[in-house]
Amino acid sequence: MAGNCTVNYEGRAASKLTWGERVLIIKADGSVLIHRRSGYEPVNWQPPKCQFRAGLEDGKVLSISAIRQEPKESLKLLFDNVTAIMSLTLTDEGEFAMHVTEEQMKRAIMLDPSLVEPGLKLISEETKMGDSGFTDVYAEDAQGRLVVIEIKRNAASREAALQLNRYVETLRKRVNRPVRGILTAPELRSGTSTLLAKLGYDFKVVSPEKCFQILKPRTDARLTEFLR
């Protein structure tokens, strides 16, 4: 539906959008999107399972409310003019598949090291470390300690923890400063957590999906609009 409207959101925070022409999308699952003429992000939205109320106010303003109970929040639109309405029944059994390689996950972590830990600074990638092979990413943490990051695309096994250990041990022989090891993966296989803890290394969940979001560039158009 397209028309001239104003939008008020009230929930755990609140927002107010003054009058202007926008596109309102209501999906069958009860999710709601309000799009302005620019930017790929909606100015307001609600997740699925909203309940809706519609009515006329003063006999001339169309009111549409999308309400959720848990948490309690409501999005209320008032339209004084409706330009167009379209109703669609979409048949869609398509499958969506992402392709993110371990190499691309490494690139995502290099683009945004805070995926692993805030304050982390990248030093280099794929540092050749003697007999123990290659490490994935080599960084420095907020306290100035060296950090070896081992990246796995799938659930990480004890073998990954031992591989990280070889990298860290090799590095410790070479430098005269503390060296940490961090294993990143979407999850850990059975026993890996215990072994990692015993070796004194950290684990951080980094999934291919999270990396996809970093690799797929997003501009903060909406947020900067807030601040204009």
Site for a second copy in 156-185 (CB under 8 A): none
Site track 26-65 with a second copy (rule: CB under 8 A), x = hit: -xxx-xxx-xxxxxx-xx-xxxx-----------------
In 3D, which of 101, 103, 91, 180 has the Cα closest to residue 140?
Answer: 180
SS3 209: helix
The footprint of a second copy on residues 104-123 (CB under 8 A) is: 104, 107, 117-118
SS3 167: helix
Least Å distance, CB 12 to a second copy, is 4
Q: Does 144 bind a second copy (CB under 8 A)?
A: no
Contacts of 153 (CB under 8 A, 6+ apart): 100, 101, 102, 105, 185, 186, 208
Question: Given the complex with a second copy, which of 56 and 223 has the nearer CB atom?
Answer: 223
Least Å distance, CB 4 to a second copy, is 8
Question: Given the complex with a second copy, which of 55 and 217 has the nearer CB atom?
Answer: 217
Say how far apart CA 136 and CA 152 lie, in whole Å. 9
The footprint of a second copy on residues 67-86 (CB under 8 A) is: 68, 71, 73, 83-84, 86
